[in-house]
Structure 1
Amino acid sequence: MQAICFGLVLLLAGSALAHSRSGESSHAGLPVPEISHGEMAVISDYRSRIMDLASTAADTNEPFRRVLNYAEIQYSYCLWGRMPGSVTDEQSPFNECAHAYLAATKAVLLAMRDMPQEAMAAGEIASAVDVDMVRRGLSLVTCRFSGEGFNTADVVRPRWSEIPLHPASMASLTGFAAILAAGFFVLRRLLRIQSWE
């Protein structure tokens, strides 16, 4: 009986670890509220406008700058949003890290609505996001990461081990590797030709 109980405990612990966030660490940073799957699709369309406005914000404070920095760090960890399906496909190994950078981007936008000089521009972007959400019917679209909050002390990395199981990510990374290899081959050949001259 004890062996069965021990086995059940191990099974539950393994299940919990399998579903835990990649890169789970200290939560000493600032909380970043979750973002729904539907919001992600729209916020990603407005990301550059939000980040451009945030980069010129005059009346900032430390929490704002930390969340802004987190948004930028997460964006780079998520390969600058370039992986196919990272925002739209919840099976993508890059979907959770996309949730993180877009949740931070949304938090930055909402914070700017309370800043005297940025409030009007941020309000216009927020209104455009709201209209797009309704127009595209994305308000209630959720996924497995939709209820997940984030923290500026916790960098969310892509799930690298899942890339071979996700055809779009695998094809994209394979294509990138092929381009790098071809570039290296051409560069090496050019250097060899120059050394002969």
Structure 2
Amino acid sequence: MILRSVLPAFISVVWLSLTAGGSAAHQRTASDPQSGIAIPEISHGEMVMMAEYRGRIIDLAARATDTNEHFRRVLNYAQIQYAYCFWGKMPGGVTDEASPFNECSHAYLAATKAVLLLMRDMPREADAASEIVSAIDAGMVLRGLSLITCAFSGEAFNTADIVRPELTAIPAHPASVGALAGCGALVGTALLAFRRLLRPAAP
């Protein structure tokens, strides 16, 4: 069960390392912003709550039937950025400003917020979306998150501009190193066990 949850994430990081195309921090695609849809910024405090409610938001969006191209592109961007950001599994990706995965976390959570707000104007989803918005607002007030900001809090995004994690900074971030080392150990153990299963039985 543990291997099933971490193996895709481990493979995702390896794939990102191979496709990053350089060593610049938080690389972005070179697409024309005019071809994409602007995604408003999200504060650090909003990120914390949005991460907790992301599953409900995406589930609601996936069930939506009365959609348009704008909504589908923003939802698709939210899903793509989520995959690029290790599917939210890296420790400190959301809460730690020093994490190599913090800016890409801003990107997928800003897109998730945009999806939620778009659903407030959709007849069938409006009530459920508004209920989630109210819960997030209340949670931010109760936990004093509304005034918390970080280096990326004022940064806007665009569906034509994919934000990759800062892979070259991973060795300097102990939590990320530990998580990847754990994934690597689990993968190695699984491969070793698989080889033993395939080994022919002694006569």
Q: What's the TM-score bracket when you normalise by the shorter of the two chains?
A: 0.7 to 0.9
1:188 pairs, out of 177, 192, 195, with 195
* Residue 81 (str. 1) matches residue 88 (str. 2): yes
What is the aligned counterpart of 1:122 among 129, 134, 145?
A: 129
- Quote how far apart the aligned CAs of 1:19 are: 8.7
| Greater displacement, 181-190 / 87-96 | 181-190
Match of 1:47 in 2: 54
Q: In structure 1, what residue type is equivalent to 2:186? A: I
**1-side partners of 2:121 and 2:158: how far apart?**
21
How many angstroms does 1:96 deviate by?
0.6
Q: How does 1:18-97 map to 2 (within 5 A)?
A: 21-26=26-31, 27=33, 28-97=35-104
For residues 165 and 26 of structure 2, the distance between their equivalents in structure 1, rounded to whole angstroms, comes to: 10
The number of residues matched between the two structures is 179
- 1:147 is matched with 154
Tell me the CA shift for residue 182 of structure 1: 1.0
Extract unaligned runs of 5+ from structure 1: 1-17
Residue 161, structure 1, aligned to residue 173, structure 2: no
Residues 36 and 130 of structure 1, relative CA distance in 2, 3 Å threshold: same
**Which position in structure 1 is the counterpart of 2:108?**
101
Q: Could you list the runs of 5+ residues in structure 2 that have no partner in the other structure?
A: 1-22
TM-score where L is the length of structure 1: 0.87
CA distance in structure 1 between the partners assigned to 2:25 and 2:193 by the alignment: 43
1:136 paired residue number: 143
Q: TM-score, normalised by structure 2?
A: 0.85
Measured after TM superposition, the shift of residue 29 of structure 1 is: 0.7
The list of structure 1 runs, each at least 4 consecutive aligned residues, that deviate by more than 6 angstroms after superposition, is: none
In the alignment, residue 28 of structure 2 is paired with which amino acid?
G
Identity of aligned residues (%): 62
- Give the distance between the partners of 1:19 and 1:138, measured in 2 at CA: 31
The CA deviation at 1:21 is 4.5
